[in-house]
Structure 1
Amino acid sequence: MTSKGNDVIFPLLLFIAVFKNTFGKNWDFGIDEDATSQDYPRDSLSNFTEFARNYGYAAEEHTVITEDGYILSIFRIPKGKNCRGRVRQPPVLLMHGLLQSSDSWLDAGPSAGLAFLISDACYDLWVGNVRGTYYGRRNVRLNPDADSQFWNFTSHEMGILDVPSIINYMLNETGSSELIYVGYSQGARIFFIMCSETFGYCDKIKVSINIAPAARVKYTRSVPIQLLTRFYAVTEPFLSGPRELEVLQKEGLIQKASSFFCKDSILAGTVCRAALALIDSYDPGSILTQTIRVLFGHFPAGTSARNLAVFGQNVIAGRFQKYDYGPSKNLELYGTVNPPLYNLNRTNMPVVLLHSENDLLVDSKDVQWLSAQLPNLIESYKVRHSTWTHFDNCYSRYTNITIFLKIREYLHKYSKYGSV
């Protein structure tokens, strides 16, 4: 996906998004604020608990407050609708990718969404969210619309603060001493950051299953993602206001316009499908048109400019490293001119990696590099479906017969039945 047309279209969209964030808060592209389910798919308008209940799943919302005051909504499906026996232990934590939220695990519907599949396999499933998404856009002291400091974070803070807080909350609520972690893309990245930078939390993980893990991203082949992250790697130090520092948020220009246009089945199956293929790659027939109509109601889910900047810095440097403030401030904060690398040797619990050759965002060469760094790698599994993409992991209708078979294998291996 490297045509000249792509190189023009994405920067144009990016310029519009930045311009709108800075100057035009109320652009709506004719989108009706009072849209009903007659206009949009019901699921695209549903939050996590509503979405799950649409299909008969009992879902709970829980609130986690991090050490630095971010308020995160996380969700639980204690037992899947199709679980006919006892629930297995320990509980499972499922973490989303960059610019996604917990809703991404439902968007493919009950036959393919991993939240449905894992809970139906009789696991106590918890689904997390990180700061900066629409489920993590609150703080006990800071106002995201007025305080620029709210957006002063990257995946580093997600790893050292968000995930540990969610783990503490989960274990306290369930009475379990450990859990199984399933992370996708950024959700895997922040797991490795947690293990590198904190003590004790990774000891609570029985096994970590990482899907398309975005740790080192040296060989990312997605032209739009390279342009987006490199753009913010250059411009983020010059941004100051909350409107500039919050990027690709829900109800922002890109999400709102995407949701509006992609609710139409014809546009969803053509233009919106092409947009996904532009970002990632194309897997014919894998993502249903109905799923596309739904997912753009929840995607993109928002993050900070600094978080995109650190991904861009990592792409440019080809290293899995902390945020680069420049030589002078790096020396002051880190004691070194260059940002330190994350220490993957500390990820010493059993680890499973899943990846694919057709993934343009997380290249197999980066996954192979990651495999060589991990002291307790159990398996690095390449999806056999040759056209499997990065987005397929969330949205494909074939998830249940591709990655879920491998995920379930390790969930079963590292769990047991709990009490009735």
Structure 2
Amino acid sequence: MKLSDFFESFKLFPTILSLVTLTQLLNLILPIHGRIVDLDSEELRPLPLDPDYWKNFMEPDSTAYYAGVFPQGYHVKETLQVLKMWGQPGEGYNVTTEDGYIISLFRIKPKKPNAIPVLILHGFLGCPETHLMRGKQDLPIVLADEGFDVWLGTYRGTHYGRTHVNLTTQDEKFWDFSFHEHGYYDLPAMIDHILLVSGADRVSIVAHSMGNAITLSCLATRPEYNEKVRSYSGLAPYAVVRVHEHLLHEARKMVVPFFVQAVKFNKNSFLNDVWRRRSFNPFAMFCWSFPRTCLSGLANEWGTPYELSYYKLMPVLMAYVPSGSSNKNVQHMLSLENGQFRQFDYGLEGNRARYGTSYPPLYNLSNVRVPTSLYYGATDNVVPAQSLQDQARALPNVVRSRIIIGYNHLDFLVASNTREVLDNPIIEDILRAENVTTSMKPMGAK
């Protein structure tokens, strides 16, 4: 790898301020106030690092690393290649939004005709591959094997959404979006395309983390899409949350406002693009070279406990994350607090000009009529379980709400028991809504 490429990779480090704030970065090195999980006390225990597992996700031109601090670059497989690796036939589509962004949409070819379509939405800085790390244990593959028509969504600004009919990523206007635009433009474009290709009249949505803010903002601001969504299952739903009350300890409360101001005034397209996927990712490097310390710090961010299999998964996950976003989206995500699910805050003058009010309006969640199931992790630091009551009260059609004991934010994707405690209930959610919808159709209707 060229020296210039090495230094180029460190433009990624502002990402640390969103994934692991300054205090958490220090926690990667030093146990502050005993908050870190003490894995080093078990230093003699062999770590389940798996070079072959890592290599499964690498393209042939990659240089896999097994030791050392400064590995060479790598090229990770993309969604269709990962599906092929797991024995799943996949299709890729390009979808153009109403405002001109071109985003990718992936499909696992259904195993039977007239299968119920299910759209899976990833979280903040994630990608479809973060839902495809384990093969037959992963929710998309579980659903496909159960006979559903599975689709994997992406958003503007991500690795699969870097083109536009008029703009390029060098244009500041390209990056003028947050999850609001994901919900208002990207998700409707995906839903309409899925219904067009599948011939179905509705699609079920399963969303993780920020995917919930996208889903709810869509259904709240474009209520006609309630007629196109059969059911919605929210996993670790980052929307109506009390993040600052339950997640941020005192040091982080001091750091986050500075970071919000930094991204608020950062309108340079070069600096907006620090969140993109790179062929050299210091996070992946660190998690391979120092797995105990990496997992200690990240666990403090996501929540504990976690499983031994995380050691194997973390370098691969970090190779895919971040996968693209905008500074404006970071600012909008960090602004959600105290159960206030609001539109983007442009400041007093900007809000008056845009909304006619001093503060950004709350999303009208009474518009969300879709049968909704909410799943929270009991030890999730990102979306605390204490937020469940706020979100359940805000939505008019919650048919299931559950706190999963022992689950942190990442467990929804990689825990060993997802099939029993999560996937099976999600299948029940979809089939229940399908049966209700079918029973309401007039005789002879499709």
TM-score, normalised to structure 2, is 0.78
Which of 99, 108, 115 is matched with 1:89 structurally? 115
Q: Does 1:304 align with 2:326?
A: yes
Kept in 2: contact 1:130–1:158 (CA 8 A):
yes
Q: Does 1:10 align with 2:32?
A: no
Which of 230, 235, 244 is matched with 1:211 structurally? 235
Q: Distance in 1 between matches of 2:257 and 2:93?
A: 35
Instruction: Give SS of 1:112's match.
Output: coil
Kept in 2: contact 1:287–1:392 (CA 8 A):
no
Q: Distance in 2 between matches of 1:240 and 1:11?
A: 28
Which of 181, 195, 210 is matched with 1:186 structurally? 210
Q: Does 1:327 align with 2:348?
A: yes
Kept in 2: contact 1:119–1:125 (CA 8 A):
yes
Which of 299, 311, 321 is matched with 1:289 structurally? 311
Aligned to 2:139: 114
Q: Does 1:401 align with 2:415?
A: no
Aligned to 1:20: none
Aligned to 1:30: none
Q: Does 1:357 align with 2:384?
A: no
Aligned to 1:26: none
Residue 282 of structure 1 and its aligned partner are, at CA, apart by 2.1
Q: Structure 1 pair 228/92, CA: closer, same or farther in 2 (3 Å)?
A: farther
Q: Structure 1 pair 202/247, CA: closer, same or farther in 2 (3 Å)?
A: farther
Which of 124, 127, 131 is matched with 1:98 structurally? 124
Residue 105 of structure 1 and its aligned partner are, at CA, apart by 0.6
Q: Structure 1 pair 112/222, CA: closer, same or farther in 2 (3 Å)?
A: farther
Q: Which amino acid aligns with 1:366?
A: S
Aligned to 1:202: 226
Q: Distance in 2 between matches of 1:287 and 1:372?
A: 36
Aligned to 1:164: 188
- Larger deviation, residues 125-134 vs 213-222: 213-222
Which of 55, 78, 85 is matched with 1:47 structurally? 78
Once the two structures are superposed, residues 88-109 of structure 1 have per-residue CA deviations (whole angstroms, 9 ceiling, x without a partner) of 63200000011101111102x1
Once the two structures are superposed, residues 254-288 of structure 1 have per-residue CA deviations (whole angstroms, 9 ceiling, x without a partner) of x71122343x3x634x2332242132112232643
Aligned to 1:136: 161
Aligned to 1:233: 260
Q: Which amino acid aligns with 1:191?
A: T
- Larger deviation, residues 149-158 vs 402-411: 402-411
Kept in 2: contact 1:70–1:131 (CA 8 A):
yes
Residue 87 of structure 1 and its aligned partner are, at CA, apart by 5.7
Considering only aligned residues, what root-mean-square deviation do their CA atoms show, in Å?
Answer: 2.8
Q: Which amino acid aligns with 1:402?
A: V
Which of 290, 299, 313 is matched with 1:267 structurally? 290
Q: Structure 1 pair 74/305, CA: closer, same or farther in 2 (3 Å)?
A: same
Q: Alignment identity in percent? A: 27
Q: Distance in 2 between matches of 1:231 and 1:102?
A: 31
Aligned to 1:24: none
Aligned to 2:87: 56
Residue 313 of structure 1 and its aligned partner are, at CA, apart by 1.9
Once the two structures are superposed, residues 327-373 of structure 1 have per-residue CA deviations (whole angstroms, 9 ceiling, x without a partner) of 11211110111110000000012111111221111112222101011
Q: Distance in 1 between matches of 2:308 and 2:128?
A: 21
- Larger of the two Rg values belongs to structure: 2
Q: Structure 1 pair 202/227, CA: closer, same or farther in 2 (3 Å)?
A: farther
Residue 9 of structure 1 and its aligned partner are, at CA, apart by 4.9
Kept in 2: contact 1:219–1:362 (CA 8 A):
yes
Kept in 1: contact 2:125–2:324 (CA 8 A):
yes
Q: Which amino acid aligns with 2:351?
A: N
Residue 223 of structure 1 and its aligned partner are, at CA, apart by 4.1
- Larger deviation, residues 160-169 vs 205-214: 205-214
Kept in 1: contact 2:376–2:402 (CA 8 A):
yes
Q: Distance in 1 between matches of 2:166 and 2:253?
A: 34
Q: Structure 1 pair 227/215, CA: closer, same or farther in 2 (3 Å)?
A: farther
Kept in 1: contact 2:304–2:408 (CA 8 A):
yes
Kept in 2: contact 1:89–1:415 (CA 8 A):
no
Residue 165 of structure 1 and its aligned partner are, at CA, apart by 0.3
Aligned to 1:27: none
Aligned to 2:364: 343
Q: Distance in 2 between matches of 1:318 and 1:71?
A: 33
Q: Distance in 2 between matches of 1:362 and 1:178?
A: 28
Aligned to 1:246: 273
Q: Distance in 2 between matches of 1:12 and 1:209?
A: 34
Kept in 1: contact 2:96–2:189 (CA 8 A):
yes
Residue 374 of structure 1 and its aligned partner are, at CA, apart by 1.2
Q: Structure 1 pair 226/89, CA: closer, same or farther in 2 (3 Å)?
A: farther
Residue 204 of structure 1 and its aligned partner are, at CA, apart by 0.8
Kept in 1: contact 2:273–2:325 (CA 8 A):
yes
Q: Which amino acid aligns with 1:413?
A: R
Kept in 1: contact 2:80–2:92 (CA 8 A):
yes
Q: Structure 1 pair 247/214, CA: closer, same or farther in 2 (3 Å)?
A: farther
